[in-house]
Amino acid sequence: MAKTDKHCLIVDDQEFDRRMMRRVFAKQCPNVPLLVARDLKEARERLRAGQISIVFLDNALPDGMGVDLVQEMANDKALKGVPVVIVSDFPSPFMYAKAKAANVCEVWAKRDFVGPSVQRVMTRHARLS
């Protein structure tokens, strides 16, 4: 992947998970700058700043549900085109239905956040140009 000014945003409240995701992402996509948010409030701030190519979003956050942020994004003209992958400890059927309705690219369990999956979703969905 060529160097880009667009960022990937990882949203997760657990430091252990953020570290793992940063490590995998940096190895797979070293030319894509990475931003991190610990909750929905920080995620909204990063999204409003612009230049986000894709979001990897935890569903259970201290200030709400990630899938609800995706629905907000789908109703926002500036954010509705930003691809989102929900990465959850325990994806539920209800979450899949809500995610599909909000045009989430994919729903993963955290154990699915591995090199080949990141590479595939970045190639298929990230808006780097």
Instruction: Look up the CATH number of the domain holding residue 38.
Output: 3.40.50.2300
Residue 82 falls inside a structural domain = yes
| Contact (Cβ atoms closer than 8 angstroms) between residue 50 and residue 59 | no
Range of the domain at 29: 7-125
Q: What string of pLDDT tens digits covers the 129 residues of the chain? A: 556 689 999 999 999 999 999 999 999 999 999 999 999 999 999 999 989 999 999 999 999 999 899 999 999 999 999 999 999 887 777 777 777 767 789 999 999 999 999 999 999 999 887
What Å distances lie between residue 59 and 38, 42, 43, 52, 128, CA to CA?
Answer: 12, 14, 12, 19, 24
Strand partners, 11: 37, 57
Residue 117 falls inside a structural domain = yes
Token duo for residue 40: 């929905």
The count of domains in the chain is: 1
Residue 73 falls inside a structural domain = yes
- What's the predicted TM-score (pTM) here? 0.92
Strand order in the sheet with 7-11: 34-37, 7-11, 52-57, 84-88, 106-109
